[in-house]
Structure 1
Amino acid sequence: METILIVDDDEFVIEYHTHMLSSQYQIEVAQDGEAALKLVDSRPPSLILMDIQMPRMNGYEAAYKIRLAGHTMPILFFSNLNSLEERLKAYDAGGNDFIAKPVDEQELHIKVSALLKSHQARAAKPDDADDVAVKALSALSSLGIVMGFYRDSFHCHELEHLAQSVFSVTRGFGLKCSLIVRSHNTSPCFFDDGVVKNIDAALLESLHGASRIMAFGKHRAAFNWRRASLLVKNMPEDPEMAGTMRDYLAYVMDGMEQCINRVLLEQQLRQTIRQFKTQNTNIKNGIVGLIDDLETQLESLFCTLSIDNELSEEAEQQLLTMILAARASADTKLQSGKEVERQLTQLITLLDDRAASTNSADIELF
């Protein structure tokens, strides 16, 4: 049975988390960072669930020393990390993820399971960042990977599709990444392994307006463009390789920025056209309703007129002529509205067909 080390100075919190996890995992307990270090050295757990605010040695310092000692087990912080500084500390200390207080039991089990599976997969197939980078950057295929992204970006008409195209590039370079896209009303986050990571999402959300390229910790970097931020968690240590990797990723970010603008423009155009179609339909229905109401009211008026109040035949004919002329004019306007609606429908179809055709056909760059 896998072992989870719970590190916290609050006995109630320890008991609460033990109750959540003890049915599936063996539980070890440490009440501060120093005790956790001794326990990890003597009996390394499968995963560490670490509080941040503790006496004598806080969670950041404890995690850093655990990593310095060479231990690679996942570290899951639990805290409310609100500032960019705190999130960077969590990464610099070697944390893998965090879960907000109060901890939800279902979320805790999902995160623990995902971190353990990811760690086991890495242990079975080591992927040293520098070794992977050497293979990627020493081959001419590196440029092909970037060019492949530019080709694929022409096919992207949804932000989810674009994110996966970016991850196909980063995976080609052996990088582990998370991505945020800033659209008109929302800022969705995407993760290359499909597992939601609060620590990544919180950090990405706080990067808006930060430096264009930021390096922090031993292996981490963030690329911040207006519409997107990319978090890379295993940049190569070698300065020359890291510089080359930054250049390639900057090219990708430039292409992604243009693609996001195009996708958002297409989405806004579709929405505007549909809104205009709805308004046009409402106007047409309103005209028809007004004419029908006018005819009904006039017929009712003719029926209620007394003999003394009857219109002359000539006046009645003139009135009917006016009504018919008004209907003819309304019909003309309705036909114009139908033509506008037909053209708008064709435009929507053209946009949809363009999206479908670019998704199914390859675009040759050379």
Structure 2
Amino acid sequence: MNTSVSILVVDDSLLELQMTVGYLRQYFEVHASSSGERALEMISTHRPSIVLLDVNMPDLDGYEVCRRIRERDKHLKVIFVSAYDSTSEILKGYTVGGNDYIVKPYEPIILLSKINQAIADETEFEQASHSSADLAMEAMTSFGELGSVLTFLRSSFRITTVEGLANLMMRTLDAYGLETCLQLRTPKTAINFSHQGATSPIEDELMSRISKMPGRFAESGARMFVNYEHTSLMIKNMPFDDDVKMGRIRDNIAIMLEGADERLSMIAIDVSIQESLELVKHTHQSIVNDHMVMIEQNMDELKAALLKLDLNNDQERELQEIIQNGKQALSANFEKMHDIEAQISKVHELVQNNLDSDKHAQQAPGSIDLF
């Protein structure tokens, strides 16, 4: 049992409370409360590592309890447990400061997994040091909001990785003073990013739902959601009280995300081309090697067969000549195959060098164009 981790379980259902506490006591120090008011008192006297918080309670619901927790403690991990599965309910939990959201009924192993993930995330995210490229991006904002978008589009042309594109987008969004979560999707995976560094589990769930949103834009409270084919964005602090500023941001972000969506498609194509070239190269080499082995084996078998045949000298010379001519023809074909292999290697090297130079350009100080 991990006694360094304490869990506070809050649920007005005594049966569910007993079942959850009984299960978790195998692994952690566990405390229990059947009301929100009592839970707040317990937190003030003995801060737990994690709070498992039921949403539907009679005195204070889980959302209000979490809101009061956040007034006192910004870092305490809060995991909501609820029978409600709608996006609006999950968004409520996120809005008041929840770190994760589990829908009832759930398997105990899922609960344990969520708790272990929260424990692993307990350490503060390290603030990334600003490179000179970061400073250049910050300085770029003096050219104005539209300049930020145009510079993003120009800089994105040389980006060759999903992570590189995400970093460029987050720096541009930071220049607007926006707090955001971003999801970039390729045919193989979907990756989430946050202005804080890593996304929380509840943010991951929200980004997954936003990606299935039918329209381009949606709003909820101070949040705006933007969704394209390969790119989704959640803005947490949209200035809805300033119509002019909000309109500018909305227009510029639409341009930026449309450009990012196109660039993400090209990155996926570039990676696919590189992987295909690598596969063709290895497959071709394997075929050549297999044929060389087969020819050598056939030649040995033919020579052994000649020794067993009762042939005169003229017949043996004739067969030897036929075999030799066939061997020369095969050798000529293999030379052509080696020429093809050399061309494949050359194309693969050009693609790889281009990708490597692009990555170096992304990392090099001052590599972002200013106009």
Q: Check whether TM > 0.5.
A: yes
Residue number among 297, 311, 336 corresponding to 1:293 in the alignment: 297
Whole-angstrom distance in 2 between the partners of 1:46 and 1:211: 40
1:79 alignment partner, SS class: strand
Contact 1:223/1:231 (CA < 8 Å) preserved in 2?
Answer: yes
Aligned to 2:357: 357
- Aligned pairs for 1:148-227 (under 5 A) are 148-227=151-230
Contact 1:212–1:224, Cα closer than 8 Å, also in 2: yes
Question: Which amino acid in 2 is paired with 1:249?
Answer: I
Pick from 91, 100, 107: which aligns with 1:98?
Answer: 100
CA RMSD of aligned residues (A): 3.8
Q: Deviations over 1:19-69 (max 9, x none)?
A: 9887xxxx9975334556x759x99989983523443157454258749x9
Task: Tell which deviates more after alignment, 228-237 or 157-166.
Answer: 228-237
1:63-74 matched pairs, under 5 angstroms: 66=68, 73=74
2:364 maps to none
DSSP-derived class of the 2:348 partner? helix
CA gap 1:219/1:150 in 2 versus in 1, 3 angstroms: same
Aligned to 2:133: none
Confirm whether residue 144 of structure 1 aligns to residue 147 of structure 2. yes
Contact 2:80 2:98 in 1 (8 A): no
Q: Identify the range of structure 1 (287-296 vs 216-225) with the bigger mean alpha-carbon deviation.
A: 216-225
- Distance in 2, Cα, partners of 1:323 & 1:193: 72
- Does 2:110 match 1:107? no
For the residue of structure 2 that corresponds to 1:102, the secondary structure is helix
Helix, strand or coil for the counterpart of 2:111?
A: coil
Q: Which residue of 2 aligns with 1:79?
A: 81
Equivalent position amino acid for 1:102 in 2 = L
1:200 maps to a residue whose letter is: E
The residue type paired with residue 54 of structure 2 is I
Match of 1:56 among 47, 55, 58: 58
- Which of 258, 265, 274 aligns to 1:270? It is 274
Mapped contact 2:223–2:236 kept (Cα < 8 A): yes
Paired residues for 1:234-273 under 5 Å: 234-240=237-243, 241-273=245-277
- Report the alpha carbon displacement of residue 167 of structure 1 after superposing the two structures with TM: 0.7
Distance in 1 (alpha carbons) for counterparts of 2:330 and 2:89:
66
State the partner residue of 1:343: 343
Distance in 2 (alpha carbons) for counterparts of 1:102 and 1:335: 62
CA distance in 2, matches of 1:64, 1:197: 16
The answer for unaligned runs of 5 or more in structure 1 is 122-135
**SS state of the match for residue 234, structure 2?**
strand
Task: Please give the alpha-carbon distance, in whole angstroms, between the structure 2 residues aligned to 1:249 and 1:44.
Answer: 45
Structure 1 residues 212 and 365: CA distance shift in structure 2, 3 A:
farther
Shift in Å at residue 318 of structure 1?
2.6
**Aligned-pair CA distance for 1:267:** 0.5
Q: Is the 8 A contact 2:62 2:80 kept in 1?
A: no
Report the identity percentage. 21
Q: Tell me the secondary structure at the aligned position of residue 171 of structure 1.
A: helix
Which aligned pairs between 1:10-89 and structure 2 lie closer than 5 A? 10=17, 13=20, 30-33=33-36, 49-56=51-58, 59=61, 61-62=63-64, 66=68, 73=74, 76-79=78-81, 83-89=86-92
Q: TM-score, normalised by structure 2?
A: 0.75
- What's the CA shift for 1:301? 0.8
Q: 1:302 to 1:222 in 2, by over 3 A?
A: same
Unmatched runs of 5 consecutive residues or more in structure 2: 1-5, 103-109, 128-138, 362-366
Question: For residues 188 and 163 of structure 2, what CA distance do their matches in structure 1 show?
Answer: 16
Alpha-carbon distance, 1:287 to partner: 1.8
Distance 1:189 1:21, change over 3 A: same
Distance 1:357 1:256 in 2: 20
Opposite residue 314 of structure 2, the aligned amino acid is E
Distance change (3 Å), C-alpha of 1:292 and 1:44? closer
The count of residues paired between Structure 1 and Structure 2 equals: 334
User: Aligned-pair distance for 1:85?
Assistant: 4.2
Distance 1:106 1:302, change over 3 A: same
Instruction: Decide whether the 8 Å contact of 1:33 with 1:61 is kept in 2.
Output: no
Q: In 1, Cα distance between the equivalents of 2:242 and 2:181?
A: 22
Query: CA contact under 8 A between 1:4 and 1:49: conserved in structure 2?
Result: yes
Query: Which letter does structure 2 place at the counterpart of 1:263?
Result: I
